[in-house]
Amino acid sequence: MIATASGHTRDDAEWHTRCSTPGVLELRKLGFVVVIASCASPEPPPAPDPNAGLLRDFLDGKFDGAGHPFNGRVTEGEVLCASAGPTMDSAVRLDAGCHAALPGAEQSGDMAVNARLRVTSHADDGEVLAIQLHDDSGAMVGADTLTVARLRDGDDWLDLPVTWSSSGGAIEIDIAPANGAVVEIDYVEVFPQRFGLVLAPGSGVFGDADQLTFEASHAFTKIEADGVDLTDAFTALVTAGTATQTSTEFRTLSMVDVGDLLPARGDDSELYVHTSSDVSRMQIRRSIAPCNFVGDGGGMKVLITGFQPFPADASHDNVSGVAVTAVDPSHLHDMQLMKLVLPVEYDLAAAEVADAIARCQPSLVISFGQGGDAIALEEVAYNLQDTGEVSGGVPDNRGIIRAAVPIDASAPATRDTLLPIDAIETALEAIGEAPQHSRDPGRYICNNVFFADVGAMTGHGRGGFIHLPYTDQFDDAVRARFAKVVETAVQTTLEIKTGFFPLAFLLFLCTPTIEIDGKPERRSWGKSTFQVTPGTHRVKIYFAYLFKPECGANEVDVTVAEHSTTNIKYWMPPWMFSRGSIKVEQNQLPVATVHSS
């Protein structure tokens, strides 16, 4: 059995299809990358996981790099070997041996650690330095010895790699200089031995003079954009010196300007690069996505997102992208709908959502992803990127792998959904679906976007994530089914707006509390977004002022019918200790709007 990041256990066959998160390390000369993951002790088998099989379309790893490869885990010498000698120009001179836990060893599979060294003095022959790796039982699992015969002329920096077969357990590294040898260590890097293909800088907005970088361990077999084969054109650019190409023992690094490679590109281009063993892709756009809301111009602004297909060479669509694209805004009541289909890329997908939220200011954001065998209503997002439980890691569509890397080192470890998933569950069951709650969204791109959604919408509205069941069949009935799932999740939404008499300006300092069925939530004055099920709900609104915890308190029962909109208005008069006015209004600009499926 293998322990998941959530503490659940799975057998090997199932575990290699689950979604978790990786960490990134760099390797300047070797062009390799690192991935990390951790294992917990086994527990009794959990309930069925709705996201089982989330990564079923992936095979092992893919890597990248430029300078330090993106998928390498780098630890500086002054951190790893702080007590072994003095720091000199950001490197450590090893006056004694260095013994430390090796960061990055949590990744399973065939791994390598590289030490970046400089030898400034040594004997005429024999040993210069030895590196040994030991597992948690003390057994040596890898070793190499640098000898005088292996040194180059001069005192240039050199790389000394050691390989081992990792089970994901802890590894100790010993770096011991020989008597009389003077050796400096700059850093160590941990990375999978297999090196693949990476595109940089990843999907985004590009001018014609912006540069693209392709890094691969094999020759490119095909480069294409929007169905047009650019392989010969790229080769001609390299021959002419317009594009540059540098090869080492480990990799080929190619750089080309966007305008040279894509002189006739449109507003949005999909670039694919192939080698004999890998495919990566990225979006090249001329401008950011506009705030294009379609539907009722006076209605609540709603943003829904899905994903492009993954892996990069996927043979079928992504159910989330299909579902979001298929939604008909005319089916939604009193709402304006904006759709985004995101690249499957760490950080960049999350950044695109966060940017859209900041620019377009939706009141509700629901992101959808391709999951396992059931609709999964995700309860919590994790501040972690990691697919290290899969040997070699799982790359995103541009080739990046992450293992045990925080999304935001300054953010909390978790963020709870802002969606009323109990209400969404009831609404989905009413249309014949069987959703399940989930506390493990994986630690891949879905979790990355989920974490960003909640962070951006906290205090501003509702946000969260739903995994849709995996499918590789997309006939009209399937598209209609999942479009209905998205519409139903969106339509169980309540929008509330609170206000007060202009002369009561001190109320700017007070934050209203809105209770729905006894569940309080503090929201700023103005429009807020909630979600409810069809039926009758009690809405209570108040604020704390001086010694009184419930100033202006008033409440009302709201009956919400299926496929209907109910408006509530709360208004505070200038007398601070009077009751606020709250009433249900129909067919008016909503202050509180309850949407139901």
| Predicted pLDDT of residue 51 | 61
pLDDT tens digits, residue range 424-474? Answer: 888 899 889 999 999 999 889 999 999 999 999 998 888 999 999 999 999
Q: Which stretch, 325-334, 417-426, 478-487, 490-499, has highest mean pLDDT? A: 478-487
Helix H or strand E encompassing 526: strand 526-530
Helix (H/G/I), strand (E/B), else coil: 591: coil
Mean pLDDT of 543-564: 81
Domains 197-285 and 494-595 equal at CATH topology level = yes
Instruction: Say if residues 241 and 257 touch (Cβ distance below 8 Å).
Output: no
pLDDT at 16 over 70: no
Burial code (b: 16+ CB inside 10 Å, e: under 16) for 52-71 equals bbbbbbbebbbbbbbebbbb
Mean pLDDT of 312-325: 92
- Return the sign of the alpha-carbon dihedral for residues 306, 212, 29, 221: positive
User: Given pLDDT bands bounded at 50, 70 and 90, which one contains residue 299?
Assistant: confident
Q: Which positions ≥6 away from 372 have C-beta within 8 Å?
A: 49, 50, 51, 52, 53, 54, 467, 469, 470
| Predicted pLDDT of residue 248 | 64
pLDDT at 58 over 50: no
CA distances from 414 to 175, 448, 460, 462 (A): 37, 11, 18, 17
Lowest mean per-residue pLDDT among 150-159, 563-572, 584-593: 584-593
Radius of gyration of the chain (CA): 28
Mean pLDDT of 17-28: 33
| Predicted pLDDT of residue 475 | 94
Q: Which residue has the higher pLDDT, 101 or 590?
A: 101
- For the whole prediction, is pTM greater than 0.85? no
Mean pLDDT of 135-159: 84
* Rounded Cα distance, 97 and 117, in Å: 14
| Predicted pLDDT of residue 360 | 96
What token pair was written down for 272? 């694919």
Lowest mean per-residue pLDDT among 55-64, 285-294, 365-374, 509-518: 55-64
Instruction: Say if residues 401 and 51 touch (Cβ distance below 8 Å).
Output: no
Q: Which residue has the higher pLDDT, 14 or 249?
A: 249
Q: What fold characterizes domain 197-285? A: Immunoglobulin-like (2.60.40)
Please state the domain extents for the chain. 71-193, 197-285, 294-491, 494-595
pLDDT tens digits, residue range 382-410? Answer: 998 877 556 556 788 998 877 667 899 89
Lowest mean per-residue pLDDT among 14-18, 151-155, 292-296, 570-574: 14-18
pLDDT at 107 over 50: yes
| Predicted pLDDT of residue 308 | 95
| Predicted pLDDT of residue 589 | 30
> Looking at domain 494-595, which CATH architecture does it have?
Sandwich (2.60)
> Looking at domain 71-193, which CATH architecture does it have?
Sandwich (2.60)
**The CATH number of domain 294-491 is 3.40.630.20:** yes
| Predicted pLDDT of residue 323 | 96
Mean pLDDT of 220-234: 94
pLDDT tens digits, residue range 245-298? Answer: 887 655 788 999 999 999 999 999 999 999 988 899 999 999 999 999 998 887
* Rounded Cα distance, 67 and 44, in Å: 45
* Rounded Cα distance, 34 and 215, in Å: 16
Relative to beta strand 204-205, strand 279-285 is: parallel
pLDDT at 550 over 60: yes
pLDDT at 42 over 70: no
Relative to beta strand 376-378, strand 414-416 is: unpaired
User: Given pLDDT bands bounded at 50, 70 and 90, which one contains residue 597?
Assistant: very low
